[in-house]
Each structure stands twice: as C-alpha cells, then as structure tokens.
Amino acid sequence: MLARVQSGALRGVDGYLVEVEVDLAPGMPALTTVGLPEVAVRESKDRVRAALKNSGYRFPGNRVTIKLI
C-alpha cells in the first residue's frame, strides 16, 4: 500500500467517514477503483486523472488501485 487517508462523503444531507487506500503495482498502466458502489465513484477515474494533471503531477505508469472503505 502506498498511502492511506481519511476523507468524507455525503449521503443526502448526512456526512460519513471514508478511508481511502492507494496502491501502485507493476503492470500495464490502469486506474481501478473498488469499494463504495455508487455511480459517482465509478465515474471518478477521469476526475482523478484531471486533478493530478492540473496539480502539476504526472500520472504514474503503473497499475493504480484506489480502495474506498
């Protein structure tokens, strides 16, 4: 595991804690999200790539797995 952070999410008007774990592994470049099955999570791959690019970072050339608990 590369990193683990605490974050938050909304369900309606209620907030709850979300633990985010990120792992880099050798292999073909890919971004996979697992965990919370909401549509927004499945659509977040493009937002993650854009956020990294706009922050001046290069997207890693490895397999990236983001786990939401």
| Tens digits of residue pLDDT in 11-26 | 889 998 989 999 999 9
Does residue 37 register a pLDDT over 80?
no
Phi, psi values for residue 39, rounded to 5°: -60, -40
CATH number of residue 18's parent domain = 3.30.230.10
Does residue 42 register a pLDDT over 90?
no
Q: Please tell me the total count of domains within the chain.
A: 1
Averaged pLDDT for residues 42-68:
87
More confident residue, 15 or 1: 15
- Domain that includes residue 37, residue range: 3-68
Which pLDDT score, from 0 to 100, does residue 4 have? Answer: 95
- Go through the chain and tell me how many residues it has: 69
pTM above 0.85, yes or no: no
Q: What is the DSSP string of 3-69?
A: EEEEEEEEETTEEEEEEEEEEEESSS-EEEEEE---HHHHTHHHHHHHHHHHTTPPPPSSEEEEEE-
* Residue whose C-alpha is closest to residue 6's, from 26, 23, 28, 21: 21
